[in-house]
Homo-oligomer: A and B are copies of this chain.
Amino acid sequence: MQIVRAHSGDGEILKVLSIHKGPMSAYDILGELRHKGAGAIKAPTQVYRALERLMKDGEVHRVAALNAFVRCSCIHSGSAAGFIVCTDCGTVKEFDAKVATLPRAAPKGFAVEPANYEISGTCQDCQKRASK
């Protein structure tokens, strides 16, 4: 029988991401955990290993445009997480990409699955601020 055990650090990381909301870099997470002390996680490797597991489980997503990670807000269905990212202020909104038609716009004969959707740019607020 396969016993399902919690892996080291996964819980800690999930908690930090939940509290913080918004995206955090692996080193942000590490910093938080070290700051608190007590935990098992002390090195980047451990953070990345835990994040990898959590991503596989769909608990966490990577936001490539920010080199950061977010707690899944579970709006999406199945394996189609979508993000709108402001690369200026770092704000991220998650949405369900299942309803997107982007794949149809893509060239024939090249499809990815599972897919992660990311739209990055500068949000309206940051644009206003910049143009002042």
Contacts and interface: CB of A to CB of B under 8 A. Distances in A.
A120 B84 contact: no
Interface string A119-132: 11111100100000
Given A117-B118, A117-B119, A102 B97 contact: yes
Given A112-B85, A112-B123, A115-B120, A100 B105 contact: yes
Contact of A121 (B85, B96, B116): B116
Contacts of A107: 84, 93, 95
Contacts of A2: none
Contact of A120 (B64, B100, B122, B127): B64
Interface of A: 64-65, 82, 84-86, 91, 93, 95-97, 99-103, 105-107, 110-124, 127
22 contacts: A64-B64, A64-B118, A64-B120, A65-B118, A84-B110, A86-B112, A93-B107, A93-B110, A95-B107, A96-B105, A100-B101, A100-B102, A101-B102, A102-B117, A110-B124, A112-B121, A112-B122, A113-B122, A115-B119, A117-B117, A117-B118, A118-B118
